[in-house]
Chain A
C-alpha cells in the first residue's frame, strides 16, 4: 500500500486509529458508528435501489452516486444493533465523501486491514468492510462508465 494512493480523509482516519491503544480504537469505532448519517429520503423510500452487502453478517445496504463532475457520493445503511458494521460504513462514507471516481478506484482494497483494527475487531469481521469497499468501487466503475 502506498500513501500516494490514499486520499487525505482516509489517511487521517487511519492515522487517528493507529495513534490509539487497542481498547481506545474500539471507542473510536463506536464514535464513527454513531455518526453514520440516515439515508436521504430518495433511498429511504426505495430500498430496491440499494445493494445488499452479503459479506456482512448483518443487513447492510449501499448506493453510490456519481455526478457530472465525476464526484462520488456514497450512502450506506446498517442496523442499530450492529454498531461495528455501522462504524465500518461510517468510515467509508466519511473517508470517500467528495472524492473523484479515480480517487475512489485508487483506494487499495485492503485499506480496511490497514487501520489498526485487526487485533481489536478481528480480520474476519473486517471482511465485511472489504466487501463494502469492493461493492462501492464496482458501482463507481459501472456508474462512471455510463457518464
Chain B
C-alpha cells in the first residue's frame, strides 16, 4: 500500500511532486506501516550522533558500492540489504542526509537502478530538519527482516559509462556539476600533495558547468521550478526533450542534479555518469578541455 503523496503546494509545479516530502509531512507520517525512512550521509558516523526516529542507515561506501569492483552491489546484494532494513518492494522509502542530500540523492539513484518504485527525498535533508528544531534520537531501530525480491540492476536507462559519454560529446548536452575550480582545471592543493583522485584536471569538452548548489535554496530545500528553469534552461542552455548526462567527481553530486533534472524539471532521458572525473581525468586519450569555456571536441 503506497502512502499518500505530500500535497504541499510548494511541490505542485514540479514534474514529479510525488518524489519529495516536506519535513512537516514526514513528522506527521513517522511510524506509519509501509514507510521506511533511510538516512544516507557523506559522514559515516553522523547517523550515530542522532537521526530521525525510526530511520535506518544506509552507507554508500560500505553498503551500496561493491567492495572489490568499482560498481554497485548486484541484485542479490541489493535484495539482502533492503530486506535487512525492513524494506519490501512496495515500501515507501523516504531518504534524507547531510550536505543538502547529496548522498541521499545518490542512494535514491541507486534504488532507481533497481527500479524501486516509491522512493522519495526529504526536501532540505538534515539541515532543514535541524534548523526547524525537530528531534533526533540515538536509538537504532532493529527492523524485522523482510523479503525483497532479487531484481537485476538496469544500467541502461539512467546510468552512463565512459564510452556513452565519448559518443555524445557534441550532440547531447553534458552538465559538469563540480565547483568552478575543478571545472577550469585549477588545483588548490599544495604541490607536495597532489590530488589523488585524477591524473588530469579540466572538464569534458562541451560540458556546461552548473555546480549542484545552484539547485538549492538558502534553507537547503530545492529552489522553485521557475528558479531551476532559470539555472538549467536559460543558464546552461538545456532544452525540453534534451538527453542529458551529468557528472561530477565520483557521481554523487551529479545524482543530485540527475534528481533535479528528472524529477523536478521533467527531463525524461537523464543519465548520471558515475565514473565521473575520477575516471575521465585518469583515462588515456580521452579529450579534456581546460579553462572556463566549455570547448568543443576536435573531429
Q: How far is B188's CA from A131's CA once the two chains are assembled, in angstroms?
A: 14
**Of B61, B188, B193, which is within 8 A of A122 by CB?**
B61
Q: Shortest distance in angstroms between B114's beta carbon and chain A's nearest beta carbon?
A: 22
Given contacts A55-B193, A81-B43, contact A26 B48 (CB under 8 A): yes
Query: A58 vs B46: C-alpha distance in the bound complex, in angstroms?
Result: 13
Task: Mark out the residues of chain A between 104 and 123 whose CB falls within 8 Å of any chain B CB in the assembled complex.
Answer: 119-122
User: Is B62 within 8 A of A83, CB to CB?
Assistant: no
Task: Please name all residues of chain B whose beta carbon is closer than 8 Å to the beta carbon of A85 when the two chains form the complex.
Answer: 43
> Roughly how many angstroms separate A57 CA and B48 CA in the complex, as a whole number?
19
Q: Does A33 contact B (CB under 8 A)?
A: yes
For this complex, into which size category does the number of interface residues on chain B fall? 10 to 19
**C-alpha spacing A58/B45, complex, angstroms:** 13
* Chain A at the B interface: SS class: helix
B32 at the interface (CB under 8 A from A): no
Residues of B within 8 A of A83 (CB): 43, 45-46, 48-49
Question: B42 touching A57 by the CB < 8 A rule?
Answer: yes
How many residues on A have C-beta within 8 angstroms of the other chain's C-beta atoms? 26
Is B61's CB under 8 angstroms from A29's CB? no
A134: CB under 8 A from chain B? yes
Residue A54 interfacial (CB < 8 Å): yes
Distance (whole angstroms) from the CB of A44 to the closest CB of chain B: 23
Residues of B within 8 A of A135 (CB): 193
Asked if A30 is an interface residue, CB under 8 A from chain B, the answer is yes
Chain B residue numbers with a CB within 8 Å of A138 are 192
CB contact list, A84-127 vs B, under 8 A: 84-85, 87, 119-122, 124-125, 127
Our pick among B44, B46, B67 for the contact of A121 (Cβ within 8 Å) is B44
Contact of B45 among A87, A122, A131 (CB under 8 A): A87
Could you tell me if A30 and B98 are in contact, using CB atoms closer than 8 angstroms? no
B45 lies within 8 A of A30 (CB):
yes
What CA separation (Å) do A70 and B207 show in the bound complex? 52
Q: CB-CB < 8 A to B49: which residues of A?
A: 30, 83
Shortest A129–chain B CB gap in Å is 13
User: B189 near A: Cβ within 8 Å?
Assistant: yes
Instruction: Kindly list chain A residues whose C-beta atoms are within 8 Å of the C-beta of B193.
Output: 54-55, 131, 134-135
- The answer, among A54, A55, A125, A134, for a CB contact under 8 Å with B44, is A125
A80 to B280: give the CA distance in the assembly, Å: 34
Say which residue of B48, B62, B188 sits within 8 Å of A30 (CB atoms).
Answer: B48
Q: Are A120 and B44 in contact (CB under 8 A)?
A: yes
Q: B240-276 toward A: CB 8 Å interface, digit per residue (1/0)?
A: 0000000000000000000000000000000000000
Chain A contacts with B in 3-32, Cβ cutoff 8 A = 26-27, 29-30
Query: In the complex the two chains form, is A84's CB within 8 Å of B45's CB?
Result: yes
0/1 per residue, A28-45, Cβ < 8 Å to B? 011001000000000000
CB of B163 within 8 A of chain A? no
Q: How far is the CA of A33 from the CA of B43 in the complex (A)?
A: 12
CB distance from A36 to the nearest CB of B (A): 13
Q: Is the CB of A54 within 8 A of B196?
A: no
Which residues on the B side are within 8 Å of A27 (C-beta)? 48
Interface string of B45-86 (1 = CB under 8 A from A): 110110000000000011000010000000000000000000
Given the known inter-chain contacts A125-B61, A131-B193, please indicate yes or no for A81 contacting B44, CB distance below 8 A.
Answer: no
A122 to B274, CA, bound (A): 18
Q: Tell me whether B43 and A84 are in contact (CB under 8 A).
A: yes
Which residue among B42, B45, B48, B190 has the maximum number of chain A CB atoms within 10 Å of its CB?
Answer: B45
Q: Which residue of B lies closest to A79 (CB)?
A: B43
B237 to chain A, nearest CB (A): 30
Q: Tell me which residues from 14 to 58 in chain B have a Cβ below 8 Å from any Cβ of chain A.
A: 42-46, 48-49
Interface residues of B (CB under 8 A from A): 42-46, 48-49, 61-62, 67, 98, 188-190, 192-193, 196
Supply 8 further A-B pairs (C-beta < 8 A) apart from A54-B190, A120-B44, A122-B44.
A81-B43, A82-B46, A83-B48, A84-B44, A120-B62, A121-B61, A125-B61, A131-B193
Q: What are 16 A-B interface contacts by the 8 Å CB criterion?
A: A26-B45, A27-B48, A30-B48, A54-B190, A58-B43, A81-B98, A82-B43, A82-B46, A83-B46, A83-B48, A84-B45, A85-B43, A119-B67, A120-B62, A121-B44, A125-B61
